[in-house]
A and B are shown apart, each in its own frame.
Chain A
Amino acid sequence: MAENKLSASQQAAYWEKTRGLMLVILAAWFVFSFLIHFWAPQLNQIRILGFPLGYYMAAQGSLIAFVLMCVWNAKSQDKIDHEFGVQDE
């Protein structure tokens, strides 16, 4: 396993970037978990391929967004790890 040679200030910079990524994805999570569904009754007025849009977002749309968020986090965090040379494989 690679060693962690970060100085205190590098460690702080690393964590700031990590926390920034976390907060951005947390915000996206909040939007797709809660925010858009507040308007489900209105969105349901729109039908696409037979799906009322509000129903579709809760049944499929948000789920796809969640999968993408997890992939996004894995890829971006890996990039941050490499930038600071602290990846573990």
Chain B
Amino acid sequence: MIAELGQYALALALALSILQVLLPAWGAAKGDAVLMGTAAPLAFALMGFVTFAFAALIQLYVTSDFTVVNVVENSHSQMPLIYRITSTWGNHEGSMLLWVFVLALFGALVAAFGGNLPDRLKAHVLAVQGLIALAFLSFILLTSNPFLRLAPPPAEGRDLNPILQDPGLAIHPPLLYLGYVGLSVSFAFAVAALIEGRIDAAWARWVRPWTLAAWVFLTLGIAMGSYWAYYELGWGGWWFWDPVENASLMPWLAATALLHSAVVMEKRDALKVWTILLAILAFSLSLVGTFLVRSGVLTSVHAFATDPARGVFILGILTFFIAGGLALFAFRASELKQGGLFAPVSREGALVFNNLFLTAATAAVLVGTLYPLALEAFTGAKITVGPPYFNLAFGGLMLPLVCAMPFGPLLAWKRGDLLGVAQRLMLAAGLAVVAAVVTAAAVTGGPVLAPLAVGLAVFIMLGALTDLAERAGLGRVRAKVALARLAGVPRSAYGTAIAHFGVGVCLLGIACEASWSQEKIAAMTVGDQLVIGSRDLTLERMENRTGPNYRARSAVFSIRHQGEPEGRIDASRRIFASRQMATTEAGIRTFGFSQLYVSMGEETQDGHVSVRATFKPNVTLIWLGAVVMAFGGMLSLLDRRLRIGVPKPARSRVAAVPAE
């Protein structure tokens, strides 16, 4: 019964989405306020029905209703409750439903918080949102129905892929989808602006919080996914340049560029056309990501071949929205008025620099991700574009960007003084050099350039703080005055500084992890020791353990640091009977920002077990940096200017006067 109700709710949601496209758009065309006013209630109703369907599917999973195909294929009655819930979206159909749920949620949020939007803009934005919902709801109902019944029902489900039986599944996909789908709002705003042929600084002020929110979620989602892969896969890698990872990185890069260009548009009324294009591209890359992951074209041509309908359907949706968005852009962009002027060396110039490099880096990732697919389609040759490519192409493009990062916020609008900014950054640069020299003296081994990378990271962090210090006039005025001024600095400035600081933190973690990780591999029996850096590990015993739906074989090690005991660390292998699959559960201990990472392989008959132990200095900074970035984004989101929202028309007109 619940399954039928869920499906019925989806069908109703589909019908509502059609109305949400037609009525507001019609109203906007005719200037009919009543018709335009239907947009918000329709968005709420859509969200209600989609939520009901999503809750219904969760309920089916929680109660292990094995009359539903989707539940049978991805669940098991013995799984703990949390995994029975999360396995709802640990599969194709369920994750598409989560996608649509998030989409409907954003639609409703726009309707709820868009009270101060002009009627026509709001109607258009929600109509575009409705169109996206319409496409994906049809996709679910026609090709990926999660509510299909199965007769006769089996006694037990086939279990969730053991790799996914992890709290990560509860956090990572929802966060990632909030980011992916959040960009649909920016897209809808861009399309609405193109339809109306009118765009101003106020538009940027409405778009920025949505982009910022999506960006915050995307940042956290990617970081969470990276950490999950790190601890779950047992190899200790935190980024593999896998196509599905790239699929989430590309929208992130585009959204980062969009955030920065929207600032220029909001403050200076310039870069309008470019901002619109970026908003379209960012969501397009989200769709490309969805296509790459969902169609199966990447991981297996078989999934594509067995159900070509799915891949082709998503490809159709993708083509429609990307081509439609870009075509609209091509026809209408010329109608948008050109904005203010600025000198190449200025805050605007720095933000353009940021945008150029971010989009180039996005292109580099896109090429690396799609090139093997294209080559195979055209020549049949099978190649891999792996980390060396991305490190070189992506790294090469990010380097100038991060080097320039501390300069941007210090440059004045319109016309900046590069020399003056350089002087103000002298202290940060000096300390960065000291950090590099100290690092070079303190460590042995690792690449020659590694201390320089540490220096660069320190420069970015201190450079970010320099901006705040400058605003407060630290060192120039009395401490009390400086503190008072610091309290008055707008939250968005804090957000910028903290987010930029986070990039430095992340870079520091990457540099340390990549340069000075120590790894040992050994075949050990009970009592054997393994020396890793300043620590040694002793294999104390091997144990058998049992979990709710798995058996585990664990190796228990004791750690000694320079002779002093430091507790123990367990590495294990879990064997899931229902799928005849094993997973590696690495043992991880955190010391400061560094981690000791131990994983075990299969045991040989003579009682040896292969053990891989890695000491990763400052590795946690990689994810902490991302969290700091996201925190900066959140602070910026709380800025008074964005909360209050709509500016008075007179003020925005003043801001729009060309700055000459």
- A joins B in a complex: no
Chain A interface (Cβ within 8 Å of chain B)? none
Chain B interface (Cβ within 8 Å of chain A)? none
